[in-house]
Structure 1
Amino acid sequence: MKNRLLILVAVVSIASLSSCKMLGKNKKGKNLPNDGQLHGVAPASHWSLPKPPGMVYIPPGTFHMGPSDEDVNYAYTARNKQVSISGFWMDATEITNNEYRQFTYWVRDSIAAKQMGYIKQGADGNEYIDWKKAATIKWGDKATLEKIDAMIVTPDNRIFGKKELDPSKIVYHSEIFDYKEAAKRENASVPRSKFIVKKDIMVYPDSLSWVRDFSYSYNEPMAKKYFSHPAFGNYPLVGVTWKQATAFCEWRTHYLNSFLESKKRSAESDFRLPTEAQWEYAARGGRSQAQFPWGGPYLRNRKGCLLANFKPGRGNYPEDGGFYTVRADAYWPNDFGLYNMAGNVSEWTSSLYYEGGYNFQHDMNPDIRWNAKDTDPPRMKRKVVRGGSWKDVGYFLQTSTRNYEYQDTSKCYIGFRCVIDLPPSPKGKK
C-alpha cells in the first residue's frame, strides 16, 4: 500500500510539472495543445519593467485642482474642482540642453546618412538608416562636407566663408495617429489614413528668442552660447515651440521602442507632454491645498533664502542665485522628487487653453486637446503653460496659476518635461 501511494504521488508530481511547463509555453503563445480548450496567447514573447532613467513615479491620487488661495486677478479661469489622476512617470527635471542635443544630433545624422547613401533594406521591404555606418561620419571633414552640401548654408549666408550646418535643414518627419478624432462615432467607417497626421518640423531651438523677447536689453551672449556651450549642458532647454516639444516626445518614443523591438521585447507607452491636470497634480507633490510645490505660502524659507528661481521683489534677478536660468536640478525637489516645478523655466503642457475649461472637464484625468492646423485661428493654437520662469514674479509660481502661449511660438523662458504611462516598478527593483 505504501509503495502504491509513493507511485501515485510521483505520478501526480510529474503531471503537475508537465502542466506547469505546458502553461509556461502557452503564456508565450508557443506549443498550444490541440485540445479545443482556451489557454490564452500573450501579445509578446518577453516583457520587462524598466525604470525610465531620470524619471520619477507619480502615484495615482485625488486633489483639488484650481486656486489654493484667493484669485487675485478675479479672472475665474481656474475654478476649484476635485479631480482624480492615474499614476504616471515624469521627468525629474526639465529637458536639458544636453538631452535635447541628442535629439538634434540624431536628426542631423539621419539626414546626413541618407544623403551619403548609408541606408539598408529592412526585412519589411522598407529602407532604414544604417546606423553603424552613420556613426562613422566625420563631421568637419572636407569629403563629408562635399557629400552633405544640401545641409550646408549657401555661400551668401556664410561668415568669412565658413561652412556651417543650416538649422532650417535639420528637420524631423513626424507621423502621429489622432485617437481623439478617430474615436468619434461618426468616424467609425472612415479609413485609418484620414487620422494620420504627417508633418516636417524643424528641431533646432530658436536661440534668437533671447534677443527677441526683451526689447532694449543686451542678451546676445545667451543667444550665442546658451544651447551650444558645454557650460549650459545641464541647464533647461528653452527656445522651442510646442510643436518641437511634441516632436521630441515622439522621437523619444520611437528611440526606445526601436531598441526594445530589436531585443524582441514588448514596446512601451508613448512619451508625451503632461496634461494640465497631471502637471498641477505632480507640482503639488501630494499637498492638495498647497500654494507652492514646497508646501508653504511663502517664497522664502525660515532663513530668508528664496526657494525658486524667479523675479524677486521689484526685479532683483540674481538674489535667488541665478540671473537667467539655473541648472535643471537646482533647489530642493518637491515631495514627489520633481525639481523646479516652480520657477526656472515655464513648461509646455499638452492641453488647449480655454478660459472656461474647468467647468466641463471630466473629474477623471481631465484634459482638453485640440490638434490645431496652420489654418486655424490663433485662439485655437493656445496651449497651457505652467510653473512660471526666471523672469516672472511670484504669482506665476503658484501651482494653480494658468498661463498660455501659442503652439508655434518659441520663448527663452519656456521649456518642457515628458511623462510616460507605465505601471510602477515592482518593490525592491530599480
Structure 2
Amino acid sequence: MKKSVIGLSLLYLGAATLFSACSSNKSSHPSNVSTATGWDYNDKRLGGFPLADYPGQQTGPGLTFVMGGRFTMGQTQDDLPTYEHNNIPRTVSVSSFYMDETEVANVHYREYIYWLRRTYGSDYPELIAKAYPDTTCWRQALSYNEPLVKYYFSHAAYNFYPVVGVNWNQAQEFCNWRTDRVNEMILIKEGKLKRNPNQVNEDVFNTETYAYGQYEGTVGKKRMRDLDPSGSGTRNVNFGDGYLLPAYRLPTEAEWEYAAIGQLGNNPEPATKRRRGEEVYTNRNIYAWGDAGNTRYEVRNEYQGQFFGNFKRGRGDVMGIAGGLNDNADIPAPVYSFNPNVYGLYNMSGNVSEWTLDTYRPTYDDLNDFRPFRGNVYETYKRIAEDNSLEDKDSIGHIPTRPMTRDEITATNNYDSRDADARDYRDGDTLSQFVYSFGTNTLVSNEAKVIKGGSWADRAYWMSPGTRRFMQANQSSPTVGFRCVMDRLGSPDKDDDPLKGGNRFGKQKRK
C-alpha cells in the first residue's frame, strides 16, 4: 500500500511538472525536453530523437562576415560613358552572409587542380582538362603577352595573384570542391573522420554523399552516437548536428554590390552591446574604398597621390611612370594589395572584375526586393521509383540530380515560375515570354552572367560597385576572376546567441 501511495505521488508530481512546463513562460533557449510533447531529447529510452547543442555557425576559411540589410542598389554616379541605363537605383535588402576577403588566388586554384589530378587523373583525365584555366586568355594579336601565358598561373612569383582565365562554370565547380574539402577537414579535426589522402574516383568525400550515408570514409574515434534504439550505435554526421557548413558559392549580384559599397561605414552610430544602432546613413559611397569620390590618397604624407585601387588612368597609362608608379601594378596585383573596405574585403573596386551568380538582363526592376536574384534552376536528387530512396552516387562520388518537372513544380503551388529553369522568367520578352533570340537580335542569353567591379585594365568609372557588365558562362578573360560567399544561417547578427533572432526587451522599468 505504501509503495502504491508513493507511486501515485510521483505520478502526480510528474504530471504537475509537465503541466507547469506547458503553462509557464519559457526562455528562448530550448531545454532537453520538447516543449511540444514533453518527451526528452537525446534519450535512447524514449526513441533517441537528437537535439544538437549548437554553438553557432563558425566562419569558414578565408571568409569574413557581412551583416545584411537595406541598401540602394544601382549606379553611384552619372551613367555618362555608356548610357545603358541598366543599373537604375532601387531599394533592396539582402540577408547576412560571409564573403572571401580576397579574390581566389592562383595558389588556391592550383591546389584544386592538384587534388583533381591525384583523385581522378588516372581514370578521368578529362575532368582536369575541363577545370584548368585558359592561360591563353592573355593573348592579344598586337601585344607581347607570352610570358603571362606561360608563367602567370604556374610560377611561384604569382602565387597570390588573382586567378584569371576561369569561366563561370569552372568557378562554380571550384566552389563545390571547396565546400567538400572544408567540411571534410572540420570532421577530421572533430575526430569524426580520419585523414585519407588516397581517395580516388567514387570513393571521395562529398558533403551530401556523406550526410546521406553513401560515403563512410575512415571512421574517427569520436563518431556520432546513434541514439536510435534500433540503430547501429554510431552514425555519420548530418546537417542537424551543426558541424557541417553551408556550401561555398558565387555571390549574387546584389550581395556582391552590397558588400562592395560598404555602407556600414557610413552609419554614424552602429549597434553595440549597450545600444541599438542608428537606422540612417550619412553618405553614399561611390567606390568600394569609401573615400567619397576620390580615387587617390590626398593627405600630405609619403602616400599622397597613390591610387586606392588597381585601375587604368587613361589610354596607355596602366601604372604611372617610373619612379612614381600610381598603383604599383601593371597587371593584377596580389590579392591582399590596397586597403580593405569596411567589411575587410580587398579589391572590390579594381584589380580584377568578378563573376556573380546572376544571369544578366538589361534591367533588374522585375526582381524581388528581398534577396533579388535571376538565375534559379530548380533541381532535385534522382530517386529509385520502388522505394523513393536516393540513387547511388556516380563514378566520381556525387549523388545524381535532375531538373524538377513542370508537374512537380505546379503540384506544390509554391513557385511563381512554372518551369524548373527560371533564368528568363519575366525578363521583358513579351512575344515569347521565355525566349531571348541569342545571336539574332541580342547577345544576352540564359548563359550571360553578370560580372561586377572594375579591373586593372578599366577606367575609374568601372570601379563603381553599381556598374554592371556580362560575359557568357563559357568565356574567360585576363581581367575577370572570382571570390566565394557562404550563406549565414540563423540570426543575421553573428554576435547574437545562435538560437535567437528578432528583438528582446527584457524586464521593463515603469516610469
TM-score by length of 2: 0.58
CA shift in 2, pair 1:379/1:313, >3 Å = closer
Of 103, 122, 131, the match for 2:112: 103
Report deviation, 1:251: 1.2
Q: Which residue of 2 aligns with 1:354?
A: 361
Report deviation, 1:388: 0.9
Q: Which residue of 1 aligns with 2:370?
A: 364
Say whether residues 1:335 and 2:342 are aligned partners.
yes
Q: Which residue of 1 aligns with 2:58?
A: 50
- Report the 3-state secondary structure (helix = DSSP H, G, I; strand = E; otherwise coil) of the residue aligned with 1:344: coil
Unaligned runs of 5+ in 1: 1-11, 35-39, 116-149, 152-167, 172-201
| Matching of residues 24-35 of structure 1 within 5 Å | 29-31=42-44, 33=46
Structure 2 CA distance for aligned equivalents of residues 106 and 78 of structure 1: 40
CA shift in 2, pair 1:45/1:32, >3 Å = farther
With 358-367 and 89-98 compared, the bigger mean Cα shift is at 358-367
Say whether residues 1:379 and 2:444 are aligned partners.
yes
Q: Which residue of 2 aligns with 1:410?
A: 476
Say whether residues 1:170 and 2:128 are aligned partners.
yes
- Report the 3-state secondary structure (helix = DSSP H, G, I; strand = E; otherwise coil) of the residue aligned with 1:317: coil
Q: What is the RMSD of the two structures over their aligned residues, measured on CA atoms?
A: 3.4
Q: Which residue of 2 aligns with 1:297?
A: 293
Structure 1 CA distance for aligned equivalents of residues 51 and 375 of structure 2: 30
Report deviation, 1:75: 1.4
Report deviation, 1:104: 0.9
- Report the 3-state secondary structure (helix = DSSP H, G, I; strand = E; otherwise coil) of the residue aligned with 2:311: coil
Structure 2 CA distance for aligned equivalents of residues 30 and 217 of structure 1: 71
- Report the 3-state secondary structure (helix = DSSP H, G, I; strand = E; otherwise coil) of the residue aligned with 1:70: coil
Structure 1 CA distance for aligned equivalents of residues 88 and 131 of structure 2: 36
CA shift in 2, pair 1:48/1:64, >3 Å = closer
- Report the 3-state secondary structure (helix = DSSP H, G, I; strand = E; otherwise coil) of the residue aligned with 1:208: helix
- Report the 3-state secondary structure (helix = DSSP H, G, I; strand = E; otherwise coil) of the residue aligned with 2:107: helix
Report deviation, 1:392: 0.8
Q: Which residue of 2 aligns with 1:206?
A: 134
Q: Which residue of 2 aligns with 1:67?
A: 75
Question: Contact 1:65/1:277 (CA < 8 Å) preserved in 2?
Answer: yes
Cα distance per residue 1:117-136 (max 9 Å; x no partner)? xxxxxxxxxxxxxxxxxxxx
Question: Contact 1:59/1:87 (CA < 8 Å) preserved in 2?
Answer: yes
With 61-70 and 336-345 compared, the bigger mean Cα shift is at 61-70
Say whether residues 1:345 and 2:358 are aligned partners.
no
Cα distance per residue 1:156-212 (max 9 Å; x no partner)? xxxxxxxxxxxx5515xxxxxxxxxxxxxxxxxxxxxxxxxxxxxx1111101111x
Report deviation, 1:33: 3.6
AA matched with 2:60: P
Question: Contact 1:293/1:334 (CA < 8 Å) preserved in 2?
Answer: yes
Report deviation, 1:253: 1.7
Report deviation, 1:21: 9.4
With 363-372 and 79-88 compared, the bigger mean Cα shift is at 363-372
Structure 1 CA distance for aligned equivalents of residues 51 and 455 of structure 2: 44
Structure 1 CA distance for aligned equivalents of residues 40 and 372 of structure 2: 36
Cα distance per residue 1:88-113 (max 9 Å; x no partner)? 0000000001111111111111113x
CA shift in 2, pair 1:107/1:71, >3 Å = same
AA matched with 2:310: N
Higher helix share: 1
Say whether residues 1:232 and 2:297 are aligned partners.
no
| Matching of residues 9-408 of structure 1 within 5 Å | 23=33, 29-31=42-44, 33=46, 41-42=49-50, 49-72=57-80, 73-112=82-121, 115=123, 151=125, 168=126, 170=128, 202-211=130-139, 214-260=140-186, 263=192, 264=237, 266=242, 267-286=244-263, 287=266, 289-295=284-290, 296-302=292-298, 303-319=304-320, 320-356=327-363, 358-369=364-375, 377=438, 379-380=444-445, 381-408=447-474
AA matched with 1:238: V
AA matched with 2:295: L
Count of residue correspondences: 327
Structure 2 CA distance for aligned equivalents of residues 367 and 80 of structure 1: 16
Structure 2 CA distance for aligned equivalents of residues 392 and 53 of structure 1: 30
Report deviation, 1:385: 0.4
Unaligned runs of 5+ in 2: 1-12, 22-29, 193-236, 267-282, 299-303, 321-326, 378-420, 424-435, 499-511
- Report the 3-state secondary structure (helix = DSSP H, G, I; strand = E; otherwise coil) of the residue aligned with 1:247: helix
Structure 2 CA distance for aligned equivalents of residues 379 and 29 of structure 1: 54
With 297-306 and 359-368 compared, the bigger mean Cα shift is at 297-306
- Report the 3-state secondary structure (helix = DSSP H, G, I; strand = E; otherwise coil) of the residue aligned with 1:89: strand
With 294-303 and 336-345 compared, the bigger mean Cα shift is at 294-303
Question: Contact 2:135/2:149 (CA < 8 Å) preserved in 1?
Answer: yes
CA shift in 2, pair 1:311/1:77, >3 Å = same
Question: Contact 1:309/1:326 (CA < 8 Å) preserved in 2?
Answer: yes
CA shift in 2, pair 1:109/1:23, >3 Å = same
AA matched with 1:31: K
Question: Contact 1:87/1:421 (CA < 8 Å) preserved in 2?
Answer: yes
Structure 2 CA distance for aligned equivalents of residues 63 and 272 of structure 1: 22
Question: Contact 1:28/1:44 (CA < 8 Å) preserved in 2?
Answer: no
- Report the 3-state secondary structure (helix = DSSP H, G, I; strand = E; otherwise coil) of the residue aligned with 1:391: coil
CA shift in 2, pair 1:415/1:376, >3 Å = farther
Q: Which residue of 2 aligns with 1:183?
A: none
Structure 2 CA distance for aligned equivalents of residues 44 and 227 of structure 1: 44
TM-score by length of 1: 0.68
Structure 1 CA distance for aligned equivalents of residues 353 and 444 of structure 2: 20
Question: Contact 2:60/2:182 (CA < 8 Å) preserved in 1?
Answer: no
Report deviation, 1:47: 6.6
